[in-house]
Amino acid sequence: MVKGKRKPLEEIKATVSRYKRILITGCGGCVSVCLAGGQREVEILSAELKSEFKKESAVKRIDGFTVERQCNMQMLSELDDIINEYDAVLSMACGAGVQYTAERFPKVPVFPAINTMAIGVDRELGVYEEKCRACGECVLAYTGGICPVTSCAKGLFNGPCGGTNNGACEISDDIPCAWNEIYNRLKEQNRLEDIIELQMPMQWKNQIKRIVVQDLYNK
């Protein structure tokens, strides 16, 4: 699931300070789950911005509206009837949602209100851990379900570097060596033969080609 974190209030305020009618759009998807951009967060940001602009005696109209998904064009259609009432949109969706909203409403400036941080999991309430970087070259089948790109500090595809020490990463004793964990996982599953299968370096050129082809297909 995509994880996001709200931008600082001053940064958000600066991006919309020139506009008088501002619509804050929330998303009921990933950013809602990680408490960054759902309906509750829309209401909080709206109240904070109104308070800030009131201090400057600036007359602003600030409203909020949360759609189920901003990464879905059909769901974004809920904004069609009201979008012309506003000079700017503050999107509390991930980067994909911001771009899709801007694509649907090209005449209205759309600004991000959160920073997209990672694709990750919920460790506990408010504590998230990156698990996937959407690299397009998934090797989880060979690494026991442990991602070497996100779990290894150096993103190594073929075994540990020389910095592993008693199962920890050289960066910190508090950070486990991903490849030590991969080895232990595969050993427990009687799959150590997988660890000797060499993986090719990331082919970024091929990934770009796949994205272009997918874009053409979607059109």
**What is the residue extent of each domain of the chain?**
2-119, 134-213
Query: What pLDDT, on the 0 to 100 scale, is given for residue 59?
Result: 94
Instruction: Find tokens 């309906």 and name the residue.
Output: 39
The ranges of the chain with pLDDT < 70 are 203-219
What integer pLDDT is reported at residue 131 of this predicted model? 86
Give me the pLDDT at residue 203, please.
Answer: 66
Query: What pLDDT was estimated at residue 139?
Result: 84
| Residue 122: other Cβ atoms inside 10 A | 13
Fold for domain 2-119? Answer: Rossmann fold (3.40.50)
The 10s digit of each residue's pLDDT in 117-172 is: 888 887 887 787 888 887 777 788 888 888 998 899 888 888 899 999 899 999 99
How much is the pTM? Answer: 0.74
Q: Alpha helices of the chain — where are they, by DSSP H?
A: 9-16, 30-33, 39-55, 73-76, 95-104, 148-151, 178-188, 204-218
Q: What is the pLDDT of residue 145?
A: 86
pLDDT of residue 205: 60
57: which 2 tokens? 């005696």
For 111, which DSSP code? Answer: E
pLDDT of 197 reads 81
% of the chain at pLDDT higher than 70 = 92
Q: What is the pLDDT of residue 211?
A: 46
pLDDT of residue 134: 79
Q: What is the pLDDT of residue 80?
A: 97
The tokens for 201 are 């370096």
Q: CA-CA distance, 53 to 13, in Å (whole number)?
A: 9
